[in-house]
Every structure is written in structure tokens, then in C-alpha cells.
């Protein structure tokens, strides 16, 4: 892409410039797709969209808003890549509980960009036959962000595939919420407190996780070069495979995605055995 400068609306506009490397990457991507065994693809893919601010600094962008918008556009492309491989479920972590401690001058532009994304999501997910669900502590978020999320969710309640968006999400908090829900359920059934421990086990807790109707994720991808999950899907990732990619999320390419899928498909999964 080549910048053509700012227009009257203050935005940067780009036009495509075909390079020899573009064709080579396309040929390589097509080869990667053909090499994948469809029986060894993930049923549930988790992805951490990390590195927006570092990308802005690296690229010398005028503001974080530019990198946030680039990242959300890349997310829309990513959904197409996942649909191309018929991956049944995707959980994308767009905002952690810890992120909410950042300064308002960083958070407010990001919230604005998320609201823009949520306005586009129903049409995108209709194209890919995806339902939308938001998970996390939405009560910690601004009202306009929650309203946009709920509207997107209501517009796509059903679909052949599932898109989860984790927002205000923390893996430890999800487990705490599951325990609370389970205890509340046992109390509603009239189980005496002294007998409740006999009804609490891994299977019972799993039924109270945010996405209990989905299989545990097979593959978790994190961009930006960080080799940790920071609590993402903490309970569900016990036997997941991890891929850590060096590039920042706005620069994450289809070829990076396909390489991660290829890597996953070649692994021998042992599930702790």
C-alpha cells in the first residue's frame, strides 16, 4: 500500500501498489492452503489481537487511532481467513480487564474504533454465516460500547459458525464467575452448604464458563512477540496448542495465519498424556 496523503476529512488514504512480492506471497499462500489436512484443523481458535500501540510507534502513525483502525480492518480480513478454512468457532480477545486501567486518552479512541467495528460486524458475520457473542465483564465498560456490542449480538444470534469477542475479559474472573454461578445453581436446587463440595468438580465448573456450549480451543495465537497468554481462556486452554507470532496485530498477514495453522496441524496432540 502507498499513502496518497491526507484528504480534507483528515484521514490518510491509500492505494494498492502491486509488487512482485505480492504475487509470490499469493502463490505461497495458495500452496499453504492446499497443504493443509482438513481433518487436522482447529475446531475452536483463540486469538489475542496484541500490539496496536507498538505498531503505531514503529510506523510513525499520527495517533493510536490510526493503528486501532488498521487492526480492526485486519480483524475483518482475519474472519474471512477463518471462514475460508471453515473453522467453526473463533474467540478474539480485544480488551482485557487490565487494559481498563490505561489512561482515558488511550482508551477513549479505542472504544470509538470498537463501536465502529461493532456497527460493521453484523454484515460481515452474515456474509460468513457467523453468530456473534460477547464475553467478559461488560458491566465495566462505557454504556455506548456495551450498547453497540449488544446491538451487534442481537443482529446475529444464529449462524453456522460462532464469533466470540472477549472484552473486559479476564481468565481468572471467568473462573470466579463460574464458581459463583455453580454455587448459586446448587443453592437454588436446595443443596445444603455442607453438601455443595460433593457437587463441585471440573465437569460441573466447565458448564458455567462463558462459552460452555463450545469445545475448548485447540489453538491459541498471540501476536506482537509476547510469549504468554496473560490469562486468556485460562480454564479452557489446559490442552490447547500455542503459536506466538512476532508481528504486531495490524501487520498480521494471511500468510502468518496460514503458517500458524500449518504448524498446529503438524503437531501431535497428547492432551496431557
Number of domains in the chain: 1
By the 10 Å C-beta count (0-12 exposed, 13-18 middle, 19+ buried), 230 is classed as middle
CB 148 within 8 A of CB 178: no
Q: How confident is the model at residue 271 (pLDDT cuts 50, 70, 90)?
A: confident
Q: Exactly one of 99, 112, 181, 216 is catalytic; name it.
A: 99
61: Cβ–Cβ under 8 A, 6 or more apart, which residues? Answer: 55, 67
Q: Is residue 11 part of a domain?
A: no
Average pLDDT, the chain: 92
The domain that holds 245 is classified in CATH as 3.40.1180.10
Look at residue 20 in the predicted model and tell me its pLDDT. 57
Look at residue 60 in the predicted model and tell me its pLDDT. 97
Q: Is residue 166 part of a domain?
A: yes
Dump pLDDT digits (tens) for 50-92. Answer: 999 999 999 999 999 999 999 999 999 999 999 999 999 999 9
Q: How confident is the model at residue 2 (pLDDT cuts 50, 70, 90)?
A: very low
CA–CA separation, 31 vs 112, rounded Å? 38
Look at residue 24 in the predicted model and tell me its pLDDT. 84
CA–CA separation, 194 vs 66, rounded Å? 56
**Rounded to a whole number, what is the distance in angstroms from the first to the last CA of the chain?**
47
Q: What is the largest CA-CA distance in the chain?
A: 71
CA–CA separation, 266 vs 75, rounded Å? 25
Look at residue 25 in the predicted model and tell me its pLDDT. 79
Q: Is the pLDDT of residue 1 over 70?
A: no
- Domain encompassing residue 194: 41-266
Q: How confident is the model at residue 173 (pLDDT cuts 50, 70, 90)?
A: very high
Q: How confident is the model at residue 19 (pLDDT cuts 50, 70, 90)?
A: low
Q: Is residue 124 part of a domain?
A: yes
Residue 250 phi, psi (nearest 5)? -60, -20
Q: Is residue 180 part of a domain?
A: yes
Dump pLDDT digits (tens) for 181-211. Answer: 999 999 999 999 999 999 999 999 999 999 9
CA 131, chain centre distance (Å):
14
CB 81 within 8 A of CB 161: no
Q: Exactly one of 9, 22, 30, 50 is catalytic; name it.
A: 50
Dump pLDDT digits (tens) for 93-135. Answer: 999 999 999 999 889 999 999 999 999 999 999 999 999 999 9
pTM: 0.89
CB 235 within 8 A of CB 175: yes
Q: How confident is the model at residue 152 (pLDDT cuts 50, 70, 90)?
A: very high
Q: How confident is the model at residue 7 (pLDDT cuts 50, 70, 90)?
A: very low
CA–CA separation, 192 vs 63, rounded Å? 57
CA–CA separation, 117 vs 121, rounded Å? 6
**Residue 50 bears catalytic tag:** yes
CA–CA separation, 114 vs 166, rounded Å? 12
Q: Is residue 14 part of a domain?
A: no
Q: Is residue 29 part of a domain?
A: no
Dump pLDDT digits (tens) for 224-248. Answer: 999 999 999 999 999 999 999 999 9
**Residue 99 bears catalytic tag:** yes
Q: Is residue 132 part of a domain?
A: yes
220: Cβ–Cβ under 8 A, 6 or more apart, which residues? Answer: 45, 46, 47, 48, 229, 232, 233, 237, 240, 241, 242, 243
Amino acid at each position: 500500500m502507498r499513502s496518497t496523503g491526507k484528504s480534507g476529512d483528515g484521514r490518510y488514504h491509500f492505494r494498492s501498489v502491486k509488487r512482485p512480492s505480492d504475487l509470490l506471497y499469493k502463490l505461497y499462500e495458495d500452496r499453504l492452503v492446499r497443504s493443509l489436512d482438513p481433518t487436522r484443523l482447529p475446531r475452536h481458535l483463540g486469538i489475542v489481537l496484541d500490539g496496536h500501540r507498538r505498531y503505531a510507534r514503529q510506523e510513525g502513525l499520527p495517533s493510536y487511532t490510526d493503528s486501532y483502525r488498521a487492526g480492526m480492518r485486519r480483524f475483518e480480513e482475519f474472519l474471512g481467513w477463518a471462514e475460508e478454512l471453515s473453522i467453526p468457532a473463533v474467540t478474539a480477545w480485544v480488551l482485557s480487564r487490565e487494559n481498563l486501567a490505561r489512561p482515558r486518552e488511550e482508551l477513549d479512541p479505542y472504544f470509538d474504533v470498537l463501536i465502529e467495528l461493532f456497527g460493521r460486524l453484523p454484515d460481515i458475520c452474515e456474509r460468513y454465516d457467523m453468530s456473534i457473542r460477547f464475553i467478559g465483564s461488560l458491566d465495566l465498560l462505557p454504556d455506548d460500547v456495551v450498547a453497540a456490542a449488544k446491538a451487534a449480538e442481537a443482529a446475529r444470534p444464529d449462524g453456522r459458525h460462532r464469533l466470540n469477542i472477549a472484552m473486559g475479559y479476564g481468565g481468572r474472573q471467568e473462573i470466579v464467575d463460574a464458581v459463583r454461578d455453580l454455587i448459586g445453581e446448587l443453592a437454588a436446587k436446595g443443596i445444603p452448604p455442607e453438601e455443595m463440595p460433593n457437587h463441585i468438580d471440573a465437569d460441573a465448573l466447565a458448564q458455567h464458563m462463558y462459552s460452555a456450549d463450545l469445545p475448548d480451543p485447540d489453538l491459541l495465537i498471540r501476536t506482537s512477540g509476547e510469549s504468554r497468554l496473560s490469562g486468556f481462556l485460562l480454564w479452557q486452554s489446559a490442552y490447547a496448542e500455542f503459536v506466538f507470532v512476532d508481528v504486531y496485530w495490524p501487520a498480521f498477514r494471511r500468510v502468518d495465519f496460514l503458517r500458524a495453522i500449518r504448524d498446529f496441524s503438524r503437531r501431535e496432540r497428547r492432551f496431557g498424556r
